[in-house]
Amino acid sequence: MYSIEEYFSQNNHDKILRAPYPTVIMGNHVEEGDVPALSVIHRVVQPKIKFAIPAREDILKKDFLVKEFRPKGTLKLILGMIDKTNLIPIFLKYIGCFPVKRPFRDNARELLKSGELRNMVDQEWSSLIERVSSGRNLFLFPEGTYNHDGYLNQIKKGVYFIRTKIKDVHFISFTLTYDYISAKKTQLHIAYGENFEIPENINSDEVISIVKERLGKNYVVTPGNLLSMILMRLSTEVAIGKEVLFKRLQNFATEIKKRGKEIHVSGKLFSSHLEDTFQNILKKGLESKLLKLNGNGEILGTEKLIQQEGDDIRNLKKEIYFCIIQISLLIINLSWIKFLFL
């Protein structure tokens, strides 16, 4: 299980999500852990009414874990035992999940040839609208697929479809930022946006633009993604001391906190454990051969880091891309580039 931190806008003193019926609560889609995270989000939603959550059809069937991950050895035994309890389908149905087919991912070519693709898509969306019309609010991931590298995927037209079919529908966004490298246990940061409306008379491209802007504005600055961004700027020739790197991390975090009033910054960047986190991330970078030490114990980047290739760099790249747009804009607009090179 992840450790979880939640963030609310400065105007949200009550720290609740007001979701009068009908409301669509939408978020970015990062990984399998997003669906269980909805149970955390559900706790802060008011009023308490039932939700509809579209979920891939196979996740609600038996033996999902073994079929999905194809584990071996002890892990296969453990996942098989979990599958036998039927725990995942029971939990997902409890929080409001219902099965939907994934025609664009699973068998789009065959459906397209047979002329069934459009009918299937329409049928799935009609089923969703029926559930909302029956008195349920809706949790939705507008991307439809995981954005494994941290970038938002193409926003599908589902929100536009809902806007045209449901009168007076309201919208709230949340943004999930995962920190995979600061600690042994993955840290999940959930930032809640403010309620917003989507005008009835705008086209699908304009709706998609609004959704993308809302989902992309609330990423959280964490020790993992902030230090990752600093490390990605290391040279393979000019070494830098660990003390200087650590001070750079502290300075940058302080400036973002001070000047970026609308940017969520993790409290872990100001905790007494930050140096331990810093050392842990450096250790992972050295073990993955993304970083190296010179004879004086100073840090350099490696060719592997500079070229940004290979599976080992996936998590480091993901950490950067979750916040790089936000941080880059702050650097440009507020002239913080000096804090990366102090």
Q: What is the pLDDT of residues 186-202, one digit of tens each?
A: 899 999 999 999 998 89
Closest CA to 41 of 252, 250, 212, 192: 192
> How far is residue 86's CA from residue 95's CA, in Å, rounded to a whole number?
15
**Domain boundaries along the sequence of the chain:** 3-220, 221-341
Main-chain dihedrals φ then ψ at residue 220, nearest 5 degrees? -100, 135
Contact yes or no for 268/222 (Cβ under 8 A) = yes
pLDDT digits (tens, 9 = 90+) for 222-265: 998 888 888 888 888 889 999 999 999 999 899 888 877 778 99
Other beta carbons within 10 angstroms of residue 238's beta carbon come to: 9
State the chain's mean pLDDT as an integer. Answer: 81
Angstrom distances, CA of residue 202 to CA of 113, 165, 323, 340:
32, 14, 29, 42
Instruction: Give 3-220's CATH code, choosing from 3.30.450, 1.10.8, 3.40.1130, 1.10.3470.
Output: 3.40.1130
> How far is residue 93's CA from residue 97's CA, in Å, rounded to a whole number?
5
- Tell me, what's the pLDDT at 180? 84
Reported as type and span, the H/E element at residue 3 is strand 3-7
Angstrom distances, CA of residue 187 to CA of 32, 142, 307:
14, 23, 27
Other beta carbons within 10 angstroms of residue 300's beta carbon come to: 16
Least reliable range by pLDDT among 115-129, 146-160, 253-267, 328-342? 328-342
> How far is residue 214's CA from residue 219's CA, in Å, rounded to a whole number?
10
CA dihedral sign, ordered 241, 246, 249, 255: negative
DSSP secondary structure string for all residues of 106-164: HSHHHHHHHT-HHHHHHHHHHHHHHHHHTT-EEEE-TT-S--TTSSPPPPPTHHHHHHH
Angstrom distances, CA of residue 328 to CA of 166, 220, 262, 339:
38, 14, 15, 12
What's the number of CA atoms in the CB half-sphere (13 Å) around residue 5? Answer: 16
> How far is residue 134's CA from residue 33's CA, in Å, rounded to a whole number?
28
Looking at the chain, how many residues does it have? 342
Question: Average pLDDT for residues 18-27, to the nearest whole number?
Answer: 94
Q: Are strands 137-140 and 23-27 parallel, antiparallel or unpaired?
A: parallel
Angstrom distances, CA of residue 260 to CA of 138, 144, 236, 288:
31, 31, 31, 33
pLDDT digits (tens, 9 = 90+) for 77-87: 988 998 899 88
- Tell me, what's the pLDDT at 337? 44
- Second CATH level (architecture) for the domain 221-341: Orthogonal Bundle (1.10)
> How far is residue 266's CA from residue 94's CA, in Å, rounded to a whole number?
31
Contact yes or no for 188/37 (Cβ under 8 A) = yes
Closest CA to 336 of 182, 235, 241, 226: 226
Angstrom distances, CA of residue 131 to CA of 47, 62, 171:
18, 24, 17
Contact yes or no for 282/187 (Cβ under 8 A) = no
Round the CA-based radius of gyration of the chain to a whole number and report it.
Answer: 22
Least reliable range by pLDDT among 11-15, 124-128, 281-285, 307-311? 307-311
Q: Is the pLDDT of residue 338 over 50?
A: no
Q: Is the pLDDT of residue 129 over 70?
A: yes
Q: Is the pLDDT of residue 323 over 70?
A: no
